[in-house]
């Protein structure tokens, strides 16, 4: 969010670097890139500016704004495929615009990086192959 509100600070570079350090380049960089797309669409969809704290400021690190909390809740529900709650969260984040770009970017992120209990890829009762020694 800081990258968009104060571009001169180049905060996106720190975000990508931290993601690569935390999860490795092969996972961290795609996560950061997908989230940045969602951040861009979210800020464009809102009628008012997105309020965010600077995560590089020591005294602000332990806090989040209401906008940041709403964004995280939207992501939380999308990643867990909680459709009704995700829909409500999108409305809360976008100011009731239900922007299709935000929804598409959020669902794309959620599909690639799901969370919570994962559903099996095969339906129950369907035969599966196993290696027997």
Q: 36 in helix, strand or coil?
A: helix
Is 122 part of a structural domain of the chain? no
pLDDT of 2-12, one tens digit each? 777 777 878 88
CA distance linking residue 21 with residue 100, whole number of Å:
32
Is 24 part of a structural domain of the chain? yes
**How many helices (H) and strands (E) in the chain?**
6, 0
pTM for this prediction: 0.79
pLDDT of 31-45, one tens digit each? 999 999 999 999 999
Number of domains forming the structure of the chain = 1
CA distance linking residue 33 with residue 122, whole number of Å:
30
CA distance linking residue 80 with residue 86, whole number of Å:
9
The whole domain housing 90 covers 2-112
Is 130 part of a structural domain of the chain? no
Is 9 part of a structural domain of the chain? yes
């Amino acid at each position: 969010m800081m990258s968009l509100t104060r571009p001169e600070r180049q905060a996106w570079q720190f975000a990508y670097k931290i993601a690569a350090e935390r999860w490795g380049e092969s996972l961290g960089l795609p996560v950061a890139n997908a989230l940045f797309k969602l951040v861009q669409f979210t800020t464009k969809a809102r009628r008012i500016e997105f309020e965010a704290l600077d995560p590089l400021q020591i005294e602000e690190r332990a806090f989040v704004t209401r906008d940041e909390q709403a964004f995280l809740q939207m992501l939380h529900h999308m990643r867990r495929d909680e459709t009704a709650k995700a829909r409500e969260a999108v409305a809360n984040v976008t100011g009731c615009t239900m922007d299709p770009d935000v929804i598409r970017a959020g669902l794309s992120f959620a599909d690639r990086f799901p969370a919570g209990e994962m559903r099996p890829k095969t339906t129950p009762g369907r035969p599966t192959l196993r290696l027997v020694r």
